[in-house]
Structure 1
């Protein structure tokens, strides 16, 4: 009997028509893979989720329910959902560390109102409107600020007042609270935002938050399942070292759960460059900005959401010009110049641009990897697209070979086995890989099939006759990022 049956034995004697189903050739193409995002951030004690518990998030209501209204993680998840489609969203909330302190800020009202007006206060990029009446003294205005802040449960802070001074306190303890920006009149006088006549304020920015949760708790609770994108709120070196070690492990041959992480950092060019000098990992994309009202974790969620959405559609297509929804761009004077953007990109910091209407957009998504293990400049893993495309190639080749040859016997090329036998040879595998390359090529992921054929190696291992060794040499397609034109005119 030449046909290799999976279940029907050759010794069966009872008369009947026996049928078994084999799906090894069901697909003539690589099917699309469902993608997922895992968000990690601080939760509040008011959330119903347990510390470090993995949750699947379907909507914003669940984000608030599981992690607490006004928590940093709920804030991240809402903006992530604003920026992405077609991906599953998971989250792990971490409770504030024992003994952690909360960041605080103060708003002192130094003079009262001489006319009716509105105080436009931005806390972490979220607008709070405070009505002010002519004749209101500093204490009255301070109380109005307190009441308006506490009435908005989605704000990341609470407020208390003492005479003419409002104290804002971060809901979550730890260093992230120090990144909550406090300002007035973001859009300026042209948009109708200015202090009411007579009112003057002195704002002291958030500070004093200390001691973040240990990311090891979240990593320990990450199951051995694929999370294609990881959105992380924490940017301290200790936690990033833990995260990078987990990402490296997930890309290893023993796990093959390729993940790419996103964070954002607020700071000057010097601050961002100093940070970049401490990181060198191909699986981490860091968004850098300065002087935006919007918190870093919202920048990260917007960046991650857009890349997850569009990278799931086509991992090789560049992300430039995609909008960062929910982000308030820095004022023009604080936006990085082209020269500064060049420095950041060379250092491994992802960049953005701002349209005339104020919409921030992705400029170039890069990883923090800039040097080889020998300390030499290395651009091989510079672009996030490269890692996403490699993850797709790795996943699809495993799917194809596993689908076609899941229980096959292995023979040398040229073996004359009967038709229908579940036997595979290096030549058959090589033909399958060339066919798969053609699919990648039609999807616009790779190029140069002749080079692929020439360099592809499939052979039985010399020490283990049950093992096939494959050298897979795809030439990944590149992205159109720069067009250089010289206009050489005549008069």
Structure 2
């Protein structure tokens, strides 16, 4: 006799005559799960935001983000960059308030002389600018006052301004160290062709807020890509702890962490080596006028647009980032140095398009401090995350209330092998025939209610390098 048909809803002891049918949906799904990539942004909110701190909310456009978190807030500006990079990305945000003991970054640009002709004053806050018309002999104080008014009128900017006797005093809307990244420039262009430029950078910002309350508040949610607004060693180590806890075998809410870095390569590699994580990727964009959070949000949104977990992100464009000065372009040697040190370089490609060179993790060495390139590319753990999801979903759907007899491990093994072959068909895994004998499912000898499995995952890597030799024959 073959396997006894199992009934879940019709009691075998039923005696009343009749034809009874129940529905079995455990066998309905034989395909792999989809791999929708949702983005969760952690950020800072302003007091003008309507959404309370530590509340996760879906965001569909930047106008809503301004209402939810305050116009010009870090959370709002990260959403702007994410949507510009990928308008179709599914984005949610959870924000925190400024730290109570923090200080706001400040900066000052002084206009020292009256206008010598008709022209325009462009005042840059990061990569964005406001324009002020100037007339011949216009006093410096009037130019400063008009500029401060224009800055304050553009509520999407991350700063506010005041003017006193030709000095334009600018302060970050948020308190914290993140404001120190904001660069200023006043460029006066006259109709005669003369140009004067004054530059400055905000400074004095202290104490970014602790994001751990936001991590705790969003812990029960599932997002495949999570974005940190800060790129300090302290912030990213806490971010790493959060992601590792989320992705632990008992939680299984796998996520890739994304951060950005506009500083020097030396500083970026220092941070990356300290983090040393297979599930965090740090995008370095040399001397960008965008902040760490804005770079990270754009990078994450582009990553979310690629649902195949193993496909490389090489040379995908990140729209919305500023075009750095040509003298700041990292050369090939610098890009190689970045890739060998856990940093993902961004470059300005043809047509002034900002591109990902190669998306790698910050993982460099194992627990014994031995160099280890097993998870160099961020696609390694994106692939493992997907394969775990496929296996978990298949087992949960097929065996929701299964008995654990000697017949059970072979049935589970057959299902897992089927999932492996399906992943091979999609070029997520490879060489399953070669590894299938290593797929073992057995009853645990100590826990009588537990089945355990060893599941090989020979992942597919991206083709990042092609080298050919051209032989001359004469």
| Counterpart selection for 1:431 from 411, 414, 418 | 414
Task: Please give the alpha-carbon distance, in whole angstroms, between the structure 2 residues aligned to 1:17 and 1:359.
Answer: 67
Structure 2 residue aligned with 1:455, among 438, 444, 460? 438
Task: Report the counterpart of residue 200 of structure 1 in structure 2.
Answer: 196
What is the CA–CA distance in structure 1 between the aligned matches of 2:425 and 2:190, rounded to whole Å? Answer: 58
> Distance between the aligned counterparts of 2:109 and 2:202, measured in 1?
10
8 Å CA contact 1:106–1:203 kept in 2: the answer is no
Q: How does 1:52-91 map to 2 (within 5 A)?
A: 52-84=54-86, 87-91=89-93
CA contact 2:261–2:291 (8 Å) conserved in 1: no
Structure 1 stretch 395-404 or stretch 236-245: which is displaced more? 236-245
Structure 1 residue 196 displacement after superposition: 5.9
Instruction: Tell me the CA shift for residue 68 of structure 1.
Output: 0.4
CA distance in 1, matches of 2:210, 2:281: 21
Is contact 2:118–2:190 with CA below 8 Å preserved after alignment? no
Correspondence for 1:475 among 450, 455, 458: 458
Equivalenced residue count is 471
Which of 328, 348, 371 pairs up with 1:377? 371
Is 2:273–2:364's contact at 8 Å kept on the other side of the alignment?
no
Query: Counterpart of 1:347?
Result: 341
Contact 2:189 2:195 in 1 (8 A): no
Structure 1 equivalent of residue 313 of structure 2: 319
Mapping 1:210-289, distance limit 5 Å: 210-289=206-285
2: distance between equivalents of 1:341 and 1:33?
A: 30
The Cα RMSD (Å) is 1.9
Aligned counterparts of 2:48 and 2:367: Cα–Cα separation in 1 = 45
Partner Cα separation in structure 2 for residue 181 and residue 394 of structure 1: 44
Alignment TM-score, normalising by the size of structure 1? 0.91
- After the TM superposition, which of the residue ranges 106-115 and 161-170 deviates more from structure 2? 106-115
Pick which of 276-285 and 388-397 moved more: 276-285
What is the TM-score with the length of structure 2 in the denominator?
0.95
Could you tell me how far apart the structure 2 residues matched to 1:373 and 1:61 are? 45
Summarize the Cα distance change of 1:196–1:461 in structure 2 as closer, same or farther, 3 Å threshold: farther
**Larger mean Cα displacement after TM superposition, 290-299 or 39-48:** 290-299
- For the residues of structure 1 that align with 2:144 and 2:158, how far apart are their CA atoms? 19
2: CA distance, partners of 1:51 / 1:335: 39
Structure 2 CA distance for aligned equivalents of residues 242 and 164 of structure 1: 43
SS in 1 for 2:257: strand
Q: What CA deviation, in whole Å up to 9, does each residue of 1:405-442 have, x standing for no partner?
A: 111112225xxxxxxxxxxx222222222211111011
Q: Which residue of 1 aligns with 2:150?
A: 148
Q: Distance in 2 between matches of 1:17 and 1:77?
A: 58
Structure 2 gaps of 5+ residues are none
SS in 1 for 2:71: coil
Moved more, 271-280 or 68-77: 271-280
Structure 2 counterpart of 1:421: none
Aligned residue number for residue 33 of structure 2: 31
